[in-house]
């Protein structure tokens, strides 16, 4: 009997069996033809890697246990003790903490580069610099970077360009096509899309980098479980539909917020007033994503009143689910940053990050509007 399932089954196993020693030798002689151990590879994680790679247009991808382990795998694939890494100053707080607090302990030097200096790295590059890490759209204040310009600059200095494309997704921007060397995602966010998976992925432009990322994933045990791989691959099937709705809803929310008297500032690349609007429009196929941030008065009690008044939008320190949520960068994603650094970036007490879901926009705004009335 031949079984042809339309959906890949879940290979919930830690190990695969061999008929004999000849089969074992074939496993090593012909990589990718069979499986041995789920930490090395599994049909479910391979399916997810192939699907994401197809979207990003790389030579291959490696899935990992979280977005953080994807960053770790990518950096360790390129860098060793004694090497130097450049990182955009405005970036997810977890990425910053990994580099500046952990990787420095194992001998990797790190320098944070202000956004205004990212296209002129001459003063930051050292003889041992190997890598620049940036985000397509920065977390939480939605600065949009010109990937093509960055790629030209890093190529000139013989550095690898590693782009965290979590906020944009390949539906909006494909960094490898613009010259990046490696792309990573927290699959937890938009790629999976339903707030029920923790996963990461690294997509590579060069075969040599791909083999290194695979090696790091296997040896450090950064692999993703079969079930989470299966769930993420399932979520990925609706990515294009979701991103269109996230983007149109976020643009509607940004415009409403901009006109509200209690909102002091809105950060969303789809607003014509945004400093990177033209770049975002060109680099994003006319879509601007589902993330925005806005500032009410810099008073934590005012933020608390707003949060408590929301009836359908929870305060959840993550993002990108089909249901909207709000977050508070000062107390969550950027908590590990020094106060001076947060102030310099503009992450003040009144800044709220809004992950706009796929609900009906009129219902979303009605909830936000009545909550702002309580501020």
Catalytic residue among 27, 39, 149, 305: 39
Q: How far apart are CA 177 and CA 54, in angstroms?
A: 12
Residue 123 catalytic? Answer: no
Residue 234 catalytic? Answer: no
Residue 340 and residue 229 share a domain: no
Residue 341 and residue 249 share a domain: yes
Residue 205 and residue 288 share a domain: no
Ranges assigned E (strand) in 143-236: 160-164, 182-186, 200-204
Domain boundary residue among 214, 236, 258?
236
Domain span at 214 = 21-236
Nearest to 328 by CA among 339, 340, 317, 313: 317
Residue 221 and residue 295 share a domain: no
Q: Is the peptide bond before 369 cis (omega within 30 degrees of 0)?
A: no
Q: Are 58 and 204 in contact (CB under 8 A)?
A: yes
Joined tokens for residue 244: 């269109």
Whether 119 maps to a domain, the answer reads yes
Q: How far apart are CA 245 and CA 356, in angstroms?
A: 9
* pTM given for the model: 0.96
The CATH number of whichever domain residue 350 belongs to comes to 3.90.1150.10
Residue 35 and residue 97 share a domain: yes
The CATH number of whichever domain residue 126 belongs to comes to 3.40.640.10
Domain boundary residue among 219, 236, 253?
236
Compute the Cα dihedral for 314, 168, 259, 349 and give only its sign.
Answer: positive
Q: How many CA atoms lie within 13 A of 232 on its CB side?
A: 32
Residue 231 and residue 144 share a domain: yes
Residue 308 and residue 166 share a domain: no
Residue 221 backbone class (left: φ over 0; alpha: ψ -120 to 50; beta: rest): left
Whether 69 maps to a domain, the answer reads yes
Residue 189 catalytic? Answer: yes
Ranges assigned E (strand) in 253-363: 265-267, 291-295, 325-327, 351-355
Q: Are 247 and 286 in contact (CB under 8 A)?
A: no
User: Helix 226-236 to helix 43-56 angle, to the nearest 10 degrees?
Assistant: 30
Q: Which residues of the chain have pLDDT under 70?
A: 332-337
Catalytic residue among 125, 160, 189, 353: 189
Residue 37 catalytic? Answer: no
Catalytic residue among 11, 35, 92, 328: 92
**For the chain, how many structural domains are there in total?**
2
Catalytic residue among 46, 83, 164, 228: 164
pLDDT reported for residue 149: 98
Q: Which helix (H) or strand (E) holds 306?
A: helix 300-309
């Amino acid at each position: 009997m031949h079984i042809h399932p339309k959906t890949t089954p879940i290979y919930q196993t830690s190990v695969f069996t061999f008929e004999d020693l000849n089969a074992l030798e074939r496993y090593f002689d012909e990589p990718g033809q069979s499986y041995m151990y789920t930490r090395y590879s599994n049909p479910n994680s391979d399916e997810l890697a192939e699907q994401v790679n197809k979207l990003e247009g790389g030579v291959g991808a490696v899935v990992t246990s979280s977005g953080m382990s994807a960053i770790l795998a990518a950096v360790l694939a390129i860098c060793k003790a004694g090497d130097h890494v450049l990182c955009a100053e405005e970036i997810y707080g977890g990425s910053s903490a990994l580099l500046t607090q952990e990787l420095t302990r194992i001998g990797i030097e790190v320098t944070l580069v202000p956004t205004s200096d990212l296209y002129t790295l001459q003063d930051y590059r050292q003889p041992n610099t190997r890598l620049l890490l940036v985000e397509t759209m920065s977390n939480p204040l939605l600065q949009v970077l010109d990937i093509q310009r960055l790629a030209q600059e890093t190529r000139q200095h013989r550095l690898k360009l590693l782009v965290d494309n979590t906020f944009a997704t390949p539906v909006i921007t494909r960094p490898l096509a613009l010259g990046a060397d490696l792309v990573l995602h927290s699959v937890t966010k938009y790629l999976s899309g339903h707030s029920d998976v923790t996963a990461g992925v690294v997509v590579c432009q060069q075969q040599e980098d791909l083999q290194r990322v695979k090696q790091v994933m296997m040896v450090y045990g950064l692999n993703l479980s079969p079930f989470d791989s299966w769930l993420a691959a399932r979520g990925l099937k609706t990515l294009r539909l979701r991103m269109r709705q996230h983007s149109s809803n976020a643009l509607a929310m940004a415009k409403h917020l901009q006109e509200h008297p209690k909102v002091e500032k809105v950060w969303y690349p789809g607003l014509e007033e945004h400093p990177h609007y033209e770049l975002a429009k060109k680099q994003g196929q006319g879509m601007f994503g589902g993330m925005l941030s806005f500032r009410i008065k810099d008073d934590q009690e005012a933020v608390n009143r707003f949060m408590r008044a929301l009836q359908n939008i929870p305060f959840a320190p993550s993002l990108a689910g089909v249901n909207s949520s709000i977050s508070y960068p000062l107390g969550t994603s950027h908590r590990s940053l020094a106060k001076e650094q947060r102030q310099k970036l503009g992450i003040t007490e009144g800044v709220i990050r809004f992950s706009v879901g796929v609900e009906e926009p009129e219902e979303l705004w009605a909830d936000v509007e009545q909550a702002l009335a309580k501020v």
